[in-house]
Amino acid sequence: MSGSANVAREVRRRRTFAIISHPDAGKSTMTEALALHARMISEAGAIHGKAGRKSTVSDWMEMEKARGISVSSTALQFSYTSEGHPVEGGADDDVAYVINLVDTPGHADFSEDTYRVLTAVDAAVMLIDAAKGLEPQTLKLFQVCRHRGIPIITVINKWDRPGQTPLELIDEITERIGLVPTPLFVPVGIAGDFRGLLDRRTGDYVRFTRTAGGATIAPEEILDAEAAAAREGDEWTAAVEESELLAEMGQDHDQELFLAGQTSPMIFASAMLNFGVRQLLEVLTELAPAPEARNDIDGEPREVGEPFSAVVFKVQAGMDTSHRDRLAYMRIVSGEFERGMVVTHAQTGKPFATKYAQAVFGRDRSTVDRAYPGDVVGLVNATALAPGDTLFDGPRVQFPPIPSFAPEHFSALRATSAGKYKQFRKAMDQLDSEGVVQVLRNETRGDASPVLAAVGPMQFEVVTARMKSEFGVDTVVEPLGYSLARRTDADSAPELDRQRGVEVFTRTDGALLALFSDRWRLQFIEKEHPDLTLEPLVATAE
């Protein structure tokens, strides 16, 4: 098989997606359930009750394990052989799909890391709590997906607990975000009495059986409509009537509308019980798009069959406490990657060796020798790389930078000991280059007390925790009375600095940012000084 034909075949096998959700919607549990169904793990690590909860495979930071949350995004790759949708053009031996799941932070206060992940995926799974419906963080992340044209599959999770009705959830999603759900499955049994799923495309009943603690794959039994009616009675009849009503409303799946971001295939599930998880994997392999061409910085498409190129979307240090290494995650855009190949770093024009390339499964790693478009590969000790950087082989290509999103929280950071100033500066430079927070400076505050700007305030906790654990520097975070930022210029900065409730800073990338105490102060200054440059930053929450 020729090189280009092999790449094309491998691309057809790839599905790269992220799970977006509000905290406590069950995202990490679903991540682990997917790995369980793909036979990557033998038993789920999440158990009932926060106090006794094991850390899931995608949570590796000590902060995550202690608090039962996901703070940093993690890339998981596994194979899955679809039962009903073999790889197009694959051999008769059911070539497996390669699933690249980028797990995003799941705490109430999220970061730019969450947004950057969405630049590296081809689809998203929107996980919604059956009882709570759409929540603020889900809405923010949905807007990022819509802005980037990322198709969304909706999963109503926790159907084993009391919650809203299917039609109430469908109406809420349609009315609040304008995305029309097209359920592929209808639950049999109300929320809190999850018995199985009516497959709307076949009319069959998928009946689930619980396992102890949901630690293993839930057995399934496929029944035809007649057998389902005999077993479930009124519950089956209600599911059939809901399915018929959805058909009358025109809410059946349309692939073109899904890929255009107008509709969303919907599944009902319980990640804790492993109900509906196989169905999600089947929908991902059948409906989610394979990797496609990506436009370069000049707007020209980089086709997946062209020579190797990749975008760095995340840099993470401290994953291995014994080695203090630095891992850069790259999403492969085109061509075949071979470990050891020397590529070019577009931002500097310098060669970059890829000897230490790894696939990452939570905290566990394994050497990766080859990878293809859609794959996420970790490059170890990649000190020269930053989020948004491009690597390529052959003819030069550079992809657009990943935008910095509008911060909403601002704090000054200082070391508690003046004798630690050198370590403090080194740590600050590293965390800044990783994009953990945006770092702002001005002459008044100086380098000893930079201002940290973040999308979510928990990023300040991440900074102080890593300052202490990785660099031995105790720090103090002092919240500032600012709530929003605007980009400005050198001509406007002096006048803005004279205004009450405003302070001007320089970000590490050279951008001038004016911080405002509140929206009313911003509106007053815009009215009184219409000549000043005050431009919104790339934002999802404003």
**Phi/psi at 214 (nearest 5 deg)?**
65, 20
- In this structure, what CATH number is given to the domain that contains residue 432? 3.30.70.3280
Tell me whether residue 542 is in a domain.
Answer: no
- In this structure, what CATH number is given to the domain that contains residue 361? 2.40.30.10
- In this structure, what CATH number is given to the domain that contains residue 160? 3.40.50.300
Tell me whether residue 399 is in a domain.
Answer: no
Tell me whether residue 502 is in a domain.
Answer: yes
Neighbours of 51 (CB within 10 A): 6
CA dist 45 and 475 (Å) reads 34
CA dist 179 and 431 (Å) reads 37
Annotated binding-site residue? 107: yes
Neighbours of 113 (CB within 10 A): 24
**Do 66 and 17 fall within a single domain?**
yes
Neighbours of 363 (CB within 10 A): 14
Question: Which of residues 392, 417, 448 is at a domain's end?
Answer: 392
Annotated binding-site residue? 106: yes
Domain range spanning residue 359?
Answer: 294-392
**Do 496 and 514 fall within a single domain?**
yes
Question: Which of residues 270, 287, 304 is at a domain's end?
Answer: 287
pLDDT value at position 414?
93
Tell me whether residue 82 is in a domain.
Answer: yes
Annotated binding-site residue? 103: yes
Tell me whether residue 62 is in a domain.
Answer: yes
**Do 353 and 451 fall within a single domain?**
no
Count how many domains the chain has.
Answer: 3
Burial (0-12, 13-18, 19+ Cβ within 10 Å), 83: exposed
Residue 297 backbone zone (phi > 0: left; psi -120 to 50: alpha; other: beta): alpha
Question: Which of residues 361, 392, 423 is at a domain's end?
Answer: 392
**Do 112 and 95 fall within a single domain?**
yes
Among candidate residues 159, 10, 99, the one with its CA nearest the CA of residue 281: 99
Among candidate residues 334, 191, 217, 335, the one with its CA nearest the CA of residue 271: 217
Tell me whether residue 45 is in a domain.
Answer: yes
Tell me whether residue 278 is in a domain.
Answer: yes
Among candidate residues 189, 139, 134, 170, the one with its CA nearest the CA of residue 266: 170
Burial (0-12, 13-18, 19+ Cβ within 10 Å), 144: buried
**Do 356 and 414 fall within a single domain?**
no
Burial (0-12, 13-18, 19+ Cβ within 10 Å), 12: middle
pLDDT value at position 78?
86
Among candidate residues 485, 467, 424, 430, the one with its CA nearest the CA of residue 449: 424
Tell me whether residue 397 is in a domain.
Answer: no
pTM higher than 0.85 for the full model?
no
**Do 227 and 254 fall within a single domain?**
yes
pLDDT value at position 43?
66
How do the pLDDT tens digits run along the chain, 542 residues long?
567 889 999 999 999 999 988 878 888 889 889 988 887 776 665 333 333 334 444 443 454 444 433 334 467 888 899 877 777 765 544 578 999 998 666 544 556 777 788 889 999 999 999 999 998 878 888 888 988 899 999 999 999 999 999 999 999 999 999 999 999 999 999 999 999 999 999 999 999 999 988 888 999 999 999 999 999 999 999 999 999 999 999 999 999 999 999 999 999 999 999 999 999 999 999 999 999 999 999 999 999 999 999 999 988 765 445 545 678 889 999 999 999 999 999 999 999 999 888 766 555 667 888 999 999 998 987 888 988 999 999 999 999 988 777 888 999 999 999 899 999 999 998 888 777 889 999 999 988 899 999 887 878 888 998 899 888 999 999 999 999 999 999 999 999 999 999 999 999 989 999 999 999 999 999 999 999 999 988 644 33
Among candidate residues 309, 262, 237, 285, the one with its CA nearest the CA of residue 81: 285
**Do 238 and 314 fall within a single domain?**
no
**Do 249 and 279 fall within a single domain?**
yes
| First CA to last CA distance, the chain | 51
**Do 201 and 321 fall within a single domain?**
no
**Do 207 and 346 fall within a single domain?**
no
**Do 139 and 283 fall within a single domain?**
yes
**Do 272 and 151 fall within a single domain?**
yes
